[in-house]
Structures are given as C-alpha cells and as structure tokens.
Amino acid sequence: MNKGKVDVLLGLQWGDEGKGKVVDVLTPDYDVVARFQGGPNAGHTLEFDGQKYVLRSIPSGIFQGGKVNIIGNGVVLAPDLFMNEAKELEKSGHPLKDRLLISKKAHLIMPTHRLLDAAQEALKGKNKVGTTGKGIGPTYTDKVSRNGLRVGDILEDFEEKYQAHKARHEQMLKALNYTGYDLAETEQKWMEGIDYLRQFSLVDSEHEVNRLIYEGKSILCEGAQGTMLDVDFGSYPYVTSSNTVCAGACIGLGIAPNKIGNVYGIMKAYCTRVGSGPFPTELFDETGDRIRNIGHEYGAVTGRERRCGWIDLVALRYAIMVNGVTQLIMMKSDVLDGFDTIKACVAYQQGGKKIDFFPYDIEENIEPVYEMLPGWQVDMTQMTCEDEFPEAFKNYISFLEEHLETPIKIVSIGPDRSQTIVRN
Ligand code: GDP
Ligand code: IMO
Ligand code: MG
C-alpha cells in the first residue's frame, strides 16, 4: 500500500469472484475497510476457524479486530436486512457498534422498492434481468431522480418523509398493475431496523475518510458485484444499478481520483454469472456442471445456480483497462485441479471477423476463440507456497499474465482464509 493513497479491491467478472475472502485476508495490512456501492444484492463469503460467514452490507474487514469499517454514501442500505446481518454477527461474538460508521448520505431501500423491483421484473417477462429482488434498481433510480430517502433522514421527521415516499411508490405499483401485496409485516421489521440503525455512528463519511487519509491511515475499498455488472461498462441492460468500477470508489466514498493507489482486480480461474444476460464462454455441457459442482457455484444470497464457463480474457482485458488494475488476484484455482484440459478465451469471433476487444454488444453472435492448455492432476488445496504449484498450473499463470499484461500477485486455492498464496 502507498502512504496517503487508498487501495481499491474489486471484481473483474460478473460478481462472486471471492472479494469477501480476499478483503478479510488483506485487512491486517489496513486500518480501514470501506464499502462504496451496492447493497444487500452482494453476498461476500468468508471462512476461517471452521466458520463460514456471508456478508451483504457490512464490510468484510469486520472480523479482524481494531479496524474501522465504513458503509459509504454510494451504498444502498435495507435497515431490516442490515439489522439481521448485524445481530447475527454480534451473536457470533463480532460486535459492530464500536467499529462501523455509516454514511448519512447512503440511500435507504424501502419495502416498496423491493415490490417495485419485483413488479418491473414481472413486466419484463422473458427479458427480465434476474435481479436479486432486493430493490437495488428502484432505490438507485430514486436517488438519481432526486426522490430518495437517505440514512440522514431518519434523524428528523422520519415518519412523515417515509409515508410520502411510500405513497408515491404505491401509485407506481398501481400503475404497474402490481397489487395484492401485504406490507404490514415487512414494514414493521423495517421500522425496527430504522430504530436499530439509530444506535450506530451515522456520519458524513466523506469527511471521515479524508481525515483518515490525512492522518496517514491505510484504507481498503471493497467493491461489490463486478465490472461486467457495472451500469455503464457491463453487459447492459443485464447489469446492476451502480458503478462497480474503480471510479465508483471515488463517488461512493468522496475520495479524490488522485488518491487512488493500488487497484486489486479479482477474478476466478474460470468464470461464472448469475441472473440473465450474455456470457460468451458459458458452458452448457457436463464440463459446466462439473465446475459448478466442484466450485459450489450457487448464489450466496439467492441460492440460485451460477452459470459456469471458461475464463474470458477479452472481457478481463477490458475490465483491467477501465479499472486501472495494478495487480490481479486469482481465486478458486483449486476448482480446476483434475481437469485434463483448460480452455481460455483469447478473442471473439463476431460476424465472421475475429476481434480481440470487448465490443458494444456481446449479446449477438459472439463465438469465443479458445486456446487450450494442459491441466494439472494435482490437489493444490493444501499447498503453502508457489514453489509447490504443479508445472501446468505455473504455465497457466504465466499464460494469463502474458495475455492480461498484469501480474497475478495472489492465488487462492480454497475458501479458507489460510488457503491463500502470495506470490513473489
Ligand atoms: P464475493 O461475492 O466476490 O465475495 O464471492 P462469493 O462469496 O459470493 O463467492 C465466492 C465463493 O467461493 C464463496 O463460497 C467462497 O467461500 C468460495 N471461495 C473463495 N475463494 C475460493 C477458492 O480459492 N477456492 C474455492 N474452492 N472456493 C473459494
Ligand atoms: P457480489 O458482491 C453476482 C446480479 C444479479 C442480476 C444483476 C442485477 O456478491 O459479487 P440487482 O439485484 O443488483 O439489481 O441484480 O446483477 N448481481 C450479482 N451477481 N454477485 C453479486 O454480488 C451480484 N449482485 C447483483 O444476479 O443479474
Ligand atoms: Mg457474492
């Protein structure tokens, strides 16, 4: 890490790359961990000491004591889900109140936002995005259209503001022909969540973050989702509603662009996607099933099957470019242990032409062009340093580094905190 600079860690694919695990592993090197976008659509899994945790809105730096954790202004927060998550953590011996700051400018996900999410998906029919149903899109829409309700609003005349927003949403639901819902129970839990939220430090986090930078504290920004789900640069319209790219950390925390230091780009040794939308290297055969089974590729939040495929270097080069990635972290390498051949997509074939850049539209007639590499029939999960890696895996790393023109600094060989190899 560089003094006076803020490092950013983010996903380069369609999410679920393993960001939670790596943030937890890197946290000892930092004083502060901050989330800058997304909300409970995220599911960040961490494993250590035989325990498994899934975080949705709370930063993954929470388990390494003595660190400041921040939920930035760019995040959307559902008070009821936040309360469940925080109480579970407190129950398991990880108190939060003294180490978590929440931005007053973060927007609140209301129960009616979740209904609007469902209504809009229903309206799209077979073209639905396959959202997580957490109200992400409608909440960010309200924010951008200047209709949002923010965390800071709960400090004064909240009931009145809430009712006005709810009434507006109910009109929208009626216009969408979405009726017959019962809000009573969710609304009660949600209001409990609001009371619970009031027990936390609600702050102007941009001031806090910049003060910490000024004091020389080291900060790690934790991305949610992945670059291919970015609302501007992802596979639009099959994306989330926030900027998941590095620049999102500036907007979502109030950090000036010239303060960005290292950018850690996280990718799996293969590729997955959950929800609808194009995925050029998707496998529909038994190899895809095999990756799903070995990698336990089921959504951490929704339990949905993740679609699986080979690594896509065209999309990764694009992601590295728009994020300014300085170093790569490769996750789930162990999942490929035992495959005879590994494929890597090095270019696309589109309309009879070979292209090596990420085009405007990847929905229509894209065919991946693969290079084949020999696999390694070795269990890597217990390895402790890179010298132990089989030759074929070392070759795979070199091949990727060459094609991506970026060093792979960390390799993950299992879900546990300890199954992480830092390369020299
Ligand atoms: P995130 O959203 O980017 O934090 O990733 P998720 O938690 O949604 O999904 C990653 C999944 O892979 C989790 O179940 C992790 O426990 C698991 N995982 C992370 N790294 C590794 C690894 O190197 N090998 C294996 N086998 N599993 C891993
Ligand atoms: P983490 O942080 C994987 C996907 C959804 C859907 C699209 C839009 O765990 O990597 P949304 O609910 O955001 O409006 O859904 O984005 N999606 C994710 N996929 N990992 C995530 O988060 C995701 N968050 C959203 O499946 O296709
Ligand atoms: Mg996830």
Digit-coded pLDDT (tens) for 209-259: 999 999 999 999 999 999 999 999 999 999 999 999 999 999 999 999 999
Q: Give residue 424's pLDDT.
A: 87
The per-residue pLDDT of the chain, averaged, comes to: 96
Q: Check if 143 is active-site.
A: yes
Decide if 296 is catalytic. no
Which two tokens mark 202? 């609600």
Please say if the pLDDT value at position 16 is more than 90.
yes
- Ligand 2 near 42 CB (within 6 A): yes
Q: What are the sequence ranges of the domains in the chain?
A: 5-103+203-264, 107-198, 267-422
What pTM does this model have? 0.97
Is residue 272 lining ligand 2, measured as CB closer than 6 Å?
Answer: no
CATH architecture assigned to 267-422: Alpha-Beta Complex (3.90)
- Of the candidates 67, 113, 134, 143, the residue annotated as catalytic is 143
Tell me the average pLDDT across 365-371: 95
pLDDT-derived band at 261, boundaries 50, 70, 90 = very high
Residues of the chain above pLDDT 90, percent: 95
What number of CA atoms fall less than 13 Å from residue 316's CA on the CB side? 31
Same fold: 5-103+203-264 with 267-422: no
Instruction: Say whether pLDDT at 2 is over 70.
Output: no
**Among 1.10.300.10, 3.40.47.10, 3.40.920.10, 2.40.50.140, what is the CATH number of 107-198?**
1.10.300.10
The reply to whether ligand 2 has any atom less than 6 angstroms from the CB of 134 is: yes
Task: Please say if the pLDDT value at position 194 is more than 80.
Answer: yes
- Mutate-to-test residue for ligand 1 from 44, 45, 268, 393, highest number of ligand atoms within 8 A of CB: 45
For 275-319, how does the pLDDT look when each residue is reduced to its tens digit (9 = 90+)?
A: 999 999 999 999 999 999 999 999 877 789 999 999 999 999 999
Each residue of 25-35: pLDDT tens digit?
999 999 999 99
Judge contact between 264 and 325, C-beta under 8 A. yes
What CATH number belongs to 5-103+203-264?
3.40.440.10
Ligand 1 binding residues, C-beta < 6 A = 11, 15-21, 42-45, 47, 295-296, 300, 331-332, 334-335, 412-415
pLDDT for residue 1: 59
Q: How far apart are CA 201 and CA 152, in angstroms?
A: 11
Number of neighbouring beta carbons within 10 Å of residue 384: 10
